[in-house]
Structure 1
Amino acid sequence: MKGLFTTLLKLFLLITAVGALGFLCLGFIVSYHGAAPVKSDVIIVLGGDSGRRVQHGASLYKEGYGARVLLTGIDRRFYRKGHLNWRERRMKALGVPLNAVLIDTQSETTWEEAVNSSALMKKRGWRTALVVSDPPHMLRLQKTWETAFEGTGFTFVLTATKPEWWDPFIWWRNPISYRFVISEVKKNLFYAVMYY
């Protein structure tokens, strides 16, 4: 009986330790696929932010990583051609010429951003994309874009912004990064069931 108790206790401690380690590593896991930028046909700045991604995309453009910038996730209900969206205005203010900026008003989800970007790349004859988002989104983006680009011959590199609230090793200590990581765990599970 004592041997069974000892075995169960060791098993419990092992499971607890593995679970704790897994929890602590979640920040690293969700952001692992972010990479250094490479020269690409198009810089795709994903929607859903307050300007950090636009800033990073503009910097990448000015550093020569791409000749075109695609802004995704712009709500078509409020977009009027000829009336600049705030993201277009920000790009212009950051020195990106408007003739280098394209707008995607069709995509409402990350999946749609990947699929619609792939279709635009095919239409324009582009082969490579540099995709801009925030660090906690990288795991889901990697699998989403891999799936959407499957069989196309297109390639992409994910590059992350550098928000002041992000540290993959102590993500749980900051309420913003904590919220993002927990949300991404849920979204990764949802995307695994729905799209992959």
Structure 2
Amino acid sequence: MPGPRPAPTPSGSAIKAVAWAPRIVLGALVVALLLVGGTAFRVWQLGRVDEREPVDMIVVLGAAQYDGEPSPVFRARLQHALELYEQGVAPRIVTVGGAAAGDAFTEAQAGEQWLVENGVPGQALMPVDEGSDTYGSFEAVAAVAEERGWRSAVLVSDPWHSLRSRTMADDVGLEATTSPTKRGPVVQTRETQLRYIVRETGALIYYHLTHGSSDFSDPGLG
């Protein structure tokens, strides 16, 4: 009887594929690191930019509010928007943000109320409380702006949120610049800043890949 057949010798193409596999994996890792590192650098870089050229509107991105009282994060944004308004950067402030389940106030309404209490006339305020996330809010702001002939905006948020905010604003047709607040819990310590840079890096990459909501709540700051 014939003996067992010898094991087939791997073909040249199979040997080359095995040899190239580690290089492909290494190349993919390098590309991923460059993507993440480059995005993180841009998040950090734009977070340091403060643009105060005259625009049609100051847009304050919402944050947590408690029965109409802005959280420390939100209050820091509103205070910065007030300073821009007083410096004549824009003739109006647009507050944005909806309400969580059970809330009596929306973020936009809480922001408007705080600004009125701090001296901004009601006719200079426009609350836009539509949208369940940042992108949805920008869509609502863009619709309001188009109705009124407003095009340019300076966005007020936390430093590390600036790049993602401006990207979304550009995507809905707004001519956006950024002027982030430099006060509040988000910028108090280097550890907190690093945490937010990492979070915003992931959120921005996710947004670019899916074009979907990339808001992640942080119950630690509000």
TM range (shorter): 0.7 to 0.9
In 1, distance between residues paired with 2:110 and 2:61?
14
Cα deviation, residue 86, structure 1: 3.2
Cα 1:23–1:80 shift into 2, 3 Å: closer
Percent of aligned pairs sharing the same letter: 23
* Structure 1 partner of 2:111: 87
CA 57–188 in structure 1, closer or farther in 2 if over 3 Å, else same: same
Task: Tell me the equivalent position of 1:9.
Answer: none
Deviations 1:23-71, CA, capped at 9 Å, x for gaps: 6993x42132333211111111011243111111111111111111110
Q: Which residue of 1 aligns with 2:192?
A: 176
Matched, 1:192 2:212: no
> Partners of 2:50 and 2:159 in 1: how far apart?
10
Over aligned residue pairs, what C-alpha RMSD do you find?
A: 3.3
Report the 3-state secondary structure (helix = DSSP H, G, I; strand = E; otherwise coil) of the residue aligned with 2:146.
Answer: helix
- What is the CA distance between 1:99 and its match in structure 2? 1.9
TM-score (norm 1): 0.73
Other-structure match for 1:170:
none
Extract unaligned runs of 5+ from structure 2. 1-25, 64-72, 213-222
Q: How many residues align?
A: 170
Bigger RCO of structures 1 and 2 (CA < 8 A, at least 6 apart): 1
TM norm structure 2: 0.65
Contact 2:93–2:125 (8 Å) recurs in 1 = yes
Q: Note the residue ranges of structure 1 that are not aligned, 5 or more in a row.
A: 1-11, 168-172
Give the deviation of 1:188 after TM superposition: 0.9
CA 113–25 in structure 1, closer or farther in 2 if over 3 Å, else same: closer
- State whether residues 51 and 154 of structure 2, in contact with CA within 8 Å, keep that contact through their aligned partners in structure 1: no
User: Radius of gyration: which is bigger?
Assistant: 2
Q: 1:140 to 1:40 in 2, by over 3 A?
A: same
Over 4 Å off, 4+ runs: 22-25
The correspondence of residues 8-19 of structure 1 with structure 2, limited to 5 A, is none
Q: In structure 2, what is the equivalent of residue 105 of structure 1?
A: 129
Alpha-carbon shift at residue 76 of structure 1 (Å) = 7.4
Structure 2 Cα separation of the partners of residues 185 and 106 of structure 1: 25
1:127 aligns with 2:127: no
